[in-house]
Structure formats: structure tokens, C-alpha cells
Chain A
Amino acid sequence: KAGVTQTPRYLIKTRGQQVTLSCSPISGHRSVSWYQQTPGQGLQFLFEYFSETQRNKGNFPGRFSGRQFSNSRSEMNVSTLELGDSALYLCASSFEPYQETQYFGPGTRLLVL
């Protein structure tokens, strides 16, 4: 069974631009969670989607948004990029809403210049 895939793997943007990242969960998994990973803050929860609905949201500004499609694929969008948004963005999937065992993708490394 294929694992969680994320595209693109690497991205370079400039301040003020917006970016869209994509996550395809493991086949059959319907829950997708997004995390931001930085050296200083570690892994921080962004939001979780299940059945195309946002179930849970972390403490991030409204510039960070997401959505989930009927095939469970998810996208996250960051608008008006700031230098501090440079990070590794990870998505994780599970079969049911928030299951303790989550399977992570390899991440998208975003660099904001």
C-alpha cells in the first residue's frame, strides 16, 4: 500500500506570495492532519480534515487554510507569505477522525525569501 504522498517536495517563494501544498493520504484513509515543523518550535498542529470538513484547528493565523476533496486528498494554502513561514509542512493520515496512530508523509519544505 502506498504511503502518504506530498507535493511538491521543495518550494521557494518570496514574501507576500501565496502557496498551495498537496497531500494524498494512504488509500482508504479519510482523515488528514497538517503540521508545521521548524527547528525552534518543533511540530505544531495546523488543522485536521475529515469527510471534507475541518474538524480541528491549531493556533495559527487565518493566512493558513486548507480543504479536503471527496477523494480525501487535501490541500493547504498559505497566503501573504512571511519569512517565518519557512518550514517543513507535514501531513498525516488516518482511517478515522483523529486516530492516535497517524502516518506521516515526507513533507514539503517551503523556503520564503
Chain B
Amino acid sequence: QQQVKQSPQSLIVQKGGISIINCAYENTAFDYFPWYQQFPGKGPALLIAIRPDVSEKKEGRFTISFNKSAKQFSLHIMDSQPGDSATYFCAASSGDKLIFGTGTRLQVFP
């Protein structure tokens, strides 16, 4: 019940395309859903986050879509760029720690 399931494991997208990464959870006590971006040799960095009282949050080219009834949330990267090539982690929290998904390696080709 504490798991966060993330898919796909890897994603290849052409420059300018849309990258979509999905996550699902079981624990209805989760009330904070962040996405982290990690470049090789670096620690994860917070990209964007959402709470269950909204269905969508957009920051620049990054959008989180949240479906509370389905217990799913997704990250959309519009106009994907080679500089977006990184590993993306979804996570969920109920106020005491972050539970992470297993990560998606995104490669954006020019």
C-alpha cells in the first residue's frame, strides 16, 4: 500500500514531442505528489508538485495531471528538448517521508 508504481521504465522521444510518464498509488492518505528530475552524477531535484485538491498544475513546459478517483498522476513534458534527457521520479507523501517510484529514463533525440 506504500508503493508508487511508475511507468514506463524508459522513454525515447524526438525533440519537440510530448513525453508522458505515469504513476499510480494505493495509499489514499498520500496528500503530496512531487516529481523529481535527476541528471547523471547529480542528486534528484524537485521539478513540480501537486496536491489532490487540483486536477492539473502547469509550470512552463511541465504539467502534472492528477486523477484522484483512479489514484493516478502523470507528468507531461511538452516540446521535449535534448536538455530534458534525465531520469524522472514520481513520489508521494502522507506527511512523514517521500515514497518514490522506480524512475523513468527519458532520452530526447534531436
Contacts and interface: CB of A to CB of B under 8 A. Distances in A.
Given A90-B44, A105-B43, A106-B43, A45 B103 contact: no
Contact of B95 (A43, A98, A105): A98
Given A45-B98, A98-B96, A106 B42 contact: yes
A45 B43 CA distance: 14
B97 A33 contact: yes
A104 B87 CA distance: 15
Interface string B52-95: 00000000000000000000000000000000000001010101
A82 B91 CA distance: 28
B100 interface: yes
A41 B102 contact: yes
A100 B43 contact: no
Nearest to B44: A104
B32 A42 contact: no
Given A104-B43, A106-B42, A42 B49 contact: no
Contacts of A40: 102
A8 interface: no
B43 A43 contact: no
Given A43-B89, A90-B43, A92-B43, A58 B103 contact: no
B20 interface: no
B41 interface: yes
A56 interface: yes
Interface string A33-50: 101000011111100100
Interface of A: 4, 33, 35, 40-45, 48, 56, 58, 90, 92, 98, 100-102, 104-107
